[in-house]
């Protein structure tokens, strides 16, 4: 194991990069400080000179990964398109980020870690939600709370889309997934035309505001 001297700032950056890789691959609970030290080629005491605990290191990894994701969100603002085009671009871009770094694992896992980590993850998700909502709905009147709620919903749609894209067999299937999820994100259920005779009680709303009467209508 190499412990060659390296400037402190450079060593810290190296450790954070390697920790990010190990955490995204294995998760928090399955990762030990020994694993990270081994990946970096240093002793565990050297690792503890920079980070006093695995939890502290994890929080810093979350912050670094969040910046990468936020930059990806902000890129959408420069897309010259309509709402559907921006949404589609955003869904595809997030899929690329997830595929590249498996970054969202840090924010969507079900591991019980600590209140500190939970609060930091929640804060990052809120920041991402507001950024995403602000970029994709720039023509809408939204309060901060509405933006947070809508943004969280869009993040959930993005996560689901990424999973479906990953499972798709070919580009044609990926294109169909993107088309369906873009329609749903932009128009909701009204983006899909109702049947002439819906098999539900009451009425079904169409995209143009008209309704179709259901079985008991």
Task: Give pLDDT, residue 143.
Answer: 83
pLDDT at residue 217 is higher than 60: no
Mean of all residue pLDDT scores within the chain: 85
Task: Give pLDDT, residue 33.
Answer: 95
List the domains of the chain with CATH numbers: 1-52 (1.10.10.60), 65-189 (1.10.357)
**Closest Cα to residue 151, out of 182, 127, 130?**
130
Contact 151, 133 (CB under 8 A): yes
**Three-state secondary structure call for residue 23:** helix
pTM above 0.75, yes or no: no
């Amino acid at each position: 194991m190499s412990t060659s001297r390296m400037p402190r700032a450079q060593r810290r950056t190296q450790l954070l990069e390697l920790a990010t890789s190990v955490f995204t691959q294995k998760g928090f609970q399955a990762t030990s400080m020994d694993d990270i030290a081994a990946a970096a080629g240093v002793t565990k005491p050297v690792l503890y000179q920079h980070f006093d605990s695995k939890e502290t290191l994890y929080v810093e990894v979350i912050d670094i990964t969040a910046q990468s994701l936020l930059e990806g969100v902000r890129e959408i603002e420069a897309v010259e398109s309509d709402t559907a085009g921006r949404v589609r671009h955003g869904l595809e871009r997030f899929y690329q980020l997830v595929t590249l770094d498996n970054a969202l694992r840090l924010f969507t896992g079900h591991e019980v870690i600590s209140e500190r980590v939970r609060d930091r993850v929640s804060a990052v998700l809120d920041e991402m939600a507001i950024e995403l909502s602000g970029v994709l709905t720039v023509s809408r009147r939204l309060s901060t709370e509405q933006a947070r709620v809508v943004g969280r919903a869009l993040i959930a749609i993005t996560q689901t889309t990424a999973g479906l894209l990953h499972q798709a067999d070919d580009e044609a299937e990926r294109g169909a997934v993107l088309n369906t999820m873009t329609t749903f994100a932009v128009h909701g259920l009204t983006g899909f035309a109702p049947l002439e005779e819906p098999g539900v009680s009451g009425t079904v709303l169409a995209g143009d505001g008209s309704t179709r009467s259901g079985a008991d209508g």
